[in-house]
Chain A
Amino acid sequence: MIVALIVFTIALLLSLMFVYLAVTEKDLLKAIVFSAGQSICYAILLHTMAAPDIVMTYLAVSVGLYSALLVFVVSKTERYEA
């Protein structure tokens, strides 16, 4: 049980860091990478909470499809914010 609690704490704090870095970054490609990192932290959380169906769907959609879609969009519009 103690291992699960330690994994929870570390994954939560890492996800807070990734969310803050993703929202305040001016280079949009770096923001996409930080958003993928946040999705990986949430997937660790979901696995420790015993929801394996959601882990598969969430990983494929959020790390795979969103990152690819957003890279397509950034390549057709501007790279730097503001």
Chain B
Amino acid sequence: MSKRVLALLTLITLSLLTSLLITILIGVKAPTSIRDLGKYYVANTIHEAASPEAVTAIVWDYRGLDTIYETTVLYMAIIGGLAISAISRKIQLKTRIGLTGIARTATRIIVLLIATIAFAIALHGHLTPGGGFPGGSAMAITAMLIVPVYTLQSLLERGVTSTRLVAARGLALTALGLIAILPVLRGLEAVTNQKFYPSHIAGMLISGSLWFYNFFEFLAVASGFAAVALYLSAPEELYREELRGVE
């Protein structure tokens, strides 16, 4: 057997034997109850945050400020990538080598399915596990699928450029910031949920600001990663010409 397979088998037997030894000698006990802070969140999430889902309530209500800053960090990473991949003149690609008709039809069906699932995950994030981030990431996978199958030139012709997508992301981020800051005008703290926003609209449970946060976060993440997919797939000759022009 080759050296790698031998090393692998050694690692596996070593881990099994070590854990057996440690269990017999030291007598570790596996935990059987969660901490008191977790119990507080599980017990009070329906009264204080009007959402039956404890994790979404912690992410957007109890610790909402952390999440707003994390969205800003993601925005800065996208802008950093845009700064590296900037080309000074308009992109005119000569060849349009897409994939065959079979791939295009299959991609059309799959993209529709993924988009439906992504919307569903994002919009019911305050009721069941889900939320803005998983929905946005699933939508971003759609963008990464479309670009190789339908070529970059066909997307640019339809007006879907990376600058416009980054601008859309900026708009979604502004909407998020507005929802967070609006309670301050009434004298409450920023990122308040139940003291300012209604918990039911027309009889349906929307948990105050949680639904709006999830929706705008979905739009922000999807447009941000679609922009990344677009400026990652520009061919390398354009950048070589760009660097030669600089020198």
Q: What residues of chain A have their CB less than 8 Å away from a CB belonging to chain B?
A: 13, 16-17, 20-21, 24, 52-53, 56-57, 60-61, 64-65, 68-69, 72, 76
Contact = CB atoms under 8 A, between A and B. Distances in A.
A60 B138 contact: yes
B137 A60 contact: yes
B22 to A, nearest CB: 15
Given A17-B8, A64-B141, A65-B225, A53 B232 contact: no
A40 to B, nearest CB: 15
B137 A53 contact: no
Where chain A touches its partner, the secondary structure class is: helix
A65 B11 contact: no
29 contacts: A13-B15, A13-B16, A16-B11, A16-B15, A17-B12, A20-B11, A24-B4, A52-B129, A53-B55, A53-B56, A53-B131, A56-B121, A56-B129, A57-B133, A57-B134, A57-B137, A60-B134, A60-B137, A60-B141, A64-B137, A64-B140, A65-B137, A65-B144, A65-B225, A68-B141, A68-B144, A68-B229, A69-B228, A72-B232
B12 A13 contact: yes
Contacts of A13: 12, 15-16
A69 B229 CA distance: 8
B130 interface: yes
B247 interface: no
Contacts of B232: 69, 72
List 5 tightest A-B contacts by C-beta distance, closest first.
A60-B137, A56-B134, A52-B129, A64-B141, A53-B129
Contact of B130 (A17, A53, A69, A76): A53
A11 to B, nearest CB: 13
B37 interface: no
B1 interface: no
B188 to A, nearest CB: 28
B26 interface: no
Nearest to B56: A53
